[in-house]
Amino acid sequence: MVNTNVTLCGLELANPVIPASGTFGYGLEFAKLYDINCLGSFSCKGTTLEPRFGNPTPRIAEGNAGMLNSVGLQNPGVDAVIAEEFPKLAQVFRKPILANVCGFSVEEYVAVARKFDACDQVGWLELNISCPNVHGGGMGFGTSCDSAAEVTAAVKAVTKKPLIVKLTPNVTDIVSIAKACEEAGADAISLINTVLAMRIDLKTRKPVLRNITGGLSGPAVFPLALRMVWQVYEAVQIPILGLGGVSTSEDVIEMMLSGATAVGVGAANLRDPFACKRIIEQLPAVMERYGITDLKSIIGGAHHG
């Protein structure tokens, strides 16, 4: 028997697999397909203070071995999420979730975080300072050490829950930003959000996405994400939720060897709605194949010796 348990900021997970924010809605679509209690946890759709439609469509494009999205944080607003989505989720999911906190100002992040902090269903806050699809907010906070630290500290001050700060790869030095978040009180780092990208339609000679640019994710970004997890692992003491392009149990193990304590799965869920179930079911056999009996023992394993 192998042991797939890991601990993320003091909370135990039956396995490290966590569907990524924005690719799992509030869980309900997937709960119709399989018992989502097999998941370690999941991260809900990015949530702002007020309802948002998001960006104009088209906001999805094909990538090579991946996809682009410019959804732009469509969500019904934090009050509706807590009043309407969470009770429905409670019927189908018994474990604590990650609440993905978004905003356009420090005050908004703090207001959303306060509301999620009061929810028993929320185990962790995942502070999304990395969305490439909104102007004047989101990624803006994640691209400088000062603003990343400012919003991290402000949110940390209003929550008792573990605070995971989600970073954007669209920066020159991910390590310094991760360190700034750690110093400001982050309990964990998640990375990566999507990579800023675009496509052009040859027939119309115009960008495919109405927003012109969008975020690339899926298998194409896996080596990039793996490299960033590696670098951040070397620089911080807090745990890492590694994500970006993960679609197999082997990817989960590789991400953990690079330094991830838990592993997010995003775009893979959209292509294959059973992706996380499959990854979790196959994990023990793949662990055995690579001689792993206790999964947490391999975290950062590629850095040593």
Partner 1 sequence: MNQSTFTLIQNTPLTASVHELKLRGDCSAITVPGQFVQVSLPGKFLRRPFSVCDWTEDTLTLCVQRNGSGTEALCSLPAGTELDLLTGLGNGYSTRHVTPIPLLVGGGSGVGALYSLAKHLCDRGKVVTAALCFRTAADVYYVNQFKAIDAQVYVYTEDGSMGEQGNALDALELTHSQLFACGPLGMLAALDANEELDAQLSLEARMGCGFGACMGCTIETADGPRRVCADGPVFPGGVITW
Ligand X SMILES: Cc1cc2nc3c(=O)[nH]c(=O)nc-3n(C[C@H](O)[C@H](O)[C@H](O)COP(=O)(O)O)c2cc1C
**How far apart are CB 40 and partner 1 at their closest, in Å?**
18
**How far apart are CB 205 and ligand X at their closest, in Å?**
26
- Contact in structure between 115 and 161 (CB atoms under 8 Å): no
**Is residue 20 at the binding interface for ligand X, with CB under 6 A as the rule?**
yes
Q: Which partner from the list partner 1, ligand X, none does 16 bind, CB cut-off 5 to 8 Å by kind?
A: none
Q: Which partner from the list partner 1, ligand X, none does 74 bind, CB cut-off 5 to 8 Å by kind?
A: partner 1
> Which residue in the shown chain puts its C-beta closest to ligand X?
22
Span from 5-13, 17-25, 31-39, 290-298 in contact with ligand X (CB under 6 A): 17-25
Q: Which partner from the list ligand X, partner 1, none does 265 bind, CB cut-off 5 to 8 Å by kind?
A: ligand X
**How far apart are CB 220 and ligand X at their closest, in Å?**
8
**Is residue 244 at the binding interface for ligand X, with CB under 6 A as the rule?**
yes
C-alpha radius of gyration, the chain, whole number: 18
Could you confirm whether 9 is annotated as catalytic? no
Using the minimum distance from each CB to partner 1, give the nearer residue, 29 or 173: 29
- Tell me whether residue 283 is exposed, middle or buried, using C-beta atoms within 10 angstroms of its C-beta: 0 to 12, 13 to 18, 19 or more: buried
**Is residue 4 at the binding interface for ligand X, with CB under 6 A as the rule?**
no
Measured distance CA(161)–CA(151) in Å, rounded: 16
Identity (one letter) of the amino acid at 157? A
| Residue 274 burial (CB count, 10 A) | 13
**Is residue 115 at the binding interface for ligand X, with CB under 6 A as the rule?**
no
**How far apart are CB 226 and ligand X at their closest, in Å?**
11
Q: Which partner from the list partner 1, ligand X, none does 100 bind, CB cut-off 5 to 8 Å by kind?
A: ligand X
Site for ligand X in 156-215 (CB under 6 A): 166, 192-194
Nearest partner of 151 among 133, 134, 166, judged by Cα: 166
Q: C-alpha distances in angstroms, 58 versus 185, 209, 214, 267? A: 38, 5, 11, 17
Helix %, strand %, coil % of the chain (to 5): 35, 20, 45
**Is residue 21 at the binding interface for ligand X, with CB under 6 A as the rule?**
yes
Q: Which of 9, 102, 131, 276 is catalytic?
A: 131
Query: In the sheet that 188-191 helps form, which strands lie side by side, from edge to edge?
Result: 17-19, 262-265, 240-243, 188-191, 163-166, 122-128, 97-101
**Is residue 112 at the binding interface for ligand X, with CB under 6 A as the rule?**
no
User: Residue 105 — left, alpha, or beta (φ > 0 → left; ψ -120 to 50 → alpha)?
Assistant: beta
Query: With the C-alpha atoms ordered 172, 176, 177, 178, is the resulting torsion angle positive or negative?
Result: positive
State the residues that interact with partner 1 by CB under 8 A. 22-25, 29-30, 32-33, 45, 53-54, 57-67, 69, 71, 74, 208, 218-219, 267, 269-274
Q: Which residues are catalytic?
A: 131
